[in-house]
Amino acid sequence: MSKSTLKKDYFWNTIGVFLQNATSPLLLIAITRINGIDTTGLFSFAFALSIVLFAFGLWGGRTYQVSDVKREFDHRSYIVARIILAVSMVAVAILFVLANGYDMYKSTVILVLVVYKAVESIADSIYGVLQVHNGLSYVGKSLLYKSALGLIAFLVVDILTGNIILSSIAIVLVNVIFVVLYDVHLARKFEDIRIKTNFIQVYVREAGAILKRTAVIFAVTFLATFSINIPRFFIDKYDSEQIGYFGILAMPITLIALFMSFILQPNMVQLTKMYGRGNYQEFKKVINKVMAVTLGFGVVVAIGTLVVGVPLLNTIFGVDFSQHKTELMIMIIGGIANAFVAIFIVLLTIMRKFKAQFYTLLCTNLLLVVVSSILVQGYGILAGVSLFALANIAQTIILMSVYSTILRKKSSE
């Protein structure tokens, strides 16, 4: 692949991923302005739940598909696996809303947003086909166009109707149309991805094998995504009036995590090769730089938040956040720790140390569930953000210890 192609891929993919991740914050701003903070709370909770189920829908992610250079599995089998997961996402969402006894309006918002993410999950497997054929720039453009058109469609419908259900349906329709007319159309230029009915059994069997192979990666990714949503669930349960504020306070986490991914992702291939060749000192140097830059950015965000955070949120959302200044700062600290958790998850994945990640995240999340169920009821949003921050700090310390121990042992061999 030429340098110009690499630059083009990186440019478009970066823009596409950025706008995809910016969708939620931009929608929250619009909804707060158009519909009010109560509706923001409902939407942020529903969107967060859809993100958790999206992690389920992605399962092991696109990485395994793209790295299947020997073509052990047909691309159509990867697509079938995502279709199975997408249907499962919707089924789980239906069971969730029924189990919690939500009213029809809240249940419908949740289900529509889960369908939106289910469509994204299927599209991601088509992106895998494009990426294998050096078409990552097409992936970035697709994310950019879908995100931009989806935002416009949502805003237009919400302004005209004031109904976030209809607005969310508009986003779903934009995504479905774009997947069919753009993503599938492009992918078929490189490869035949039509699901042939006489090969369904083969696709399903291979899909099962794919899900089994990537189960550990899924478990770690899912648990990492779940952390922020544990206190969110209990705030919604015990103090639903505050859930809108919590959703907005959680927005800086996306900014910090996104910055970290922009720093780490371009170095992924290089780091994997370094570790595979036993070049541990260079590996450590690159990682130390990534962590230093991430920490530096986090400190800048923290200082900026301390100085202008509350006035900025007041101006953007038109809601008074002065009573939540402490919670905002705690959330920033938690967001910085969360970025480091993401870094160590990537590093331990490169090292192929999945069990350490899994048990660390499982135990801390279970503890977070128990403590949140007790403290959030009495202390509300302050307890929620504090517990999230403490859980991520604990995860960072444990995963950093595991990473350091493994690297030290490898270096001494």
- Point out the domain boundary residue: 213, 241, 274: 213
pLDDT value of position 197: 80
DSSP letters of 55-87?
HHHHTT-HHHHHT-TT--S-HHHHHHHHHHHHH
- Domains contained in the chain, number: 2
Q: Are 139 and 194 part of one and the same domain?
A: yes
Instruction: Report the length, in residues, of the chain.
Output: 413
pLDDT value of position 256: 83
Q: Are 221 and 367 part of one and the same domain?
A: yes
pLDDT value of position 398: 95
Q: Are 204 and 233 part of one and the same domain?
A: no
d(Cα 304, Cα 322) in Å, to the nearest integer?
A: 15
- Point out the domain boundary residue: 213, 233, 268: 213
CA-based nearest residue to 403, from 266, 261, 302, 271: 271
Q: Are 273 and 208 part of one and the same domain?
A: no
Token duo for residue 363: 């135990």
Compute how many other C-beta atoms are within 10 angstroms of the C-beta atom of residue 78.
Answer: 26
101 DSSP assignment: T
d(Cα 407, Cα 114) in Å, to the nearest integer?
A: 40
Q: Are 50 and 194 part of one and the same domain?
A: yes
Burial 8-40 (b: 16+ CB within 10 A, else e): ebbebbbebbbbbbbbbbebbbbbbeebebebb
- Point out the domain boundary residue: 167, 187, 213: 213
Q: Are 209 and 229 part of one and the same domain?
A: no
Low-confidence ranges of the chain (pLDDT < 70): 1-6, 67, 69, 265-269, 413
pLDDT value of position 266: 63
Q: Are 387 and 411 part of one and the same domain?
A: yes
Cβ-contact 105, 164 below 8 angstroms: no
d(Cα 79, Cα 93) in Å, to the nearest integer?
A: 21
Boundaries of domain holding 50? 1-213
pLDDT value of position 269: 63
Q: Are 120 and 197 part of one and the same domain?
A: yes
CA-based nearest residue to 221, from 72, 44, 345: 345
Q: Any alpha helices (H) in 265-352, and if so which ranges? A: 268-277, 280-304, 310-317, 325-350
Long-range contacts, 182-189 (Cβ 8 Å, 24+): 182/142, 182/145, 183/123, 183/126, 183/127, 183/130, 183/142, 184/126, 186/130, 186/135, 186/138, 186/142, 187/126, 187/129, 187/130
pLDDT value of position 14: 82
Q: Are 187 and 224 part of one and the same domain?
A: no
Q: Are 38 and 187 part of one and the same domain?
A: yes
Q: Are 315 and 384 part of one and the same domain?
A: yes
DSSP letters of 30-44?
HHHHHT-HHHHHHHH
Q: Are 203 and 232 part of one and the same domain?
A: no
pLDDT value of position 150: 96
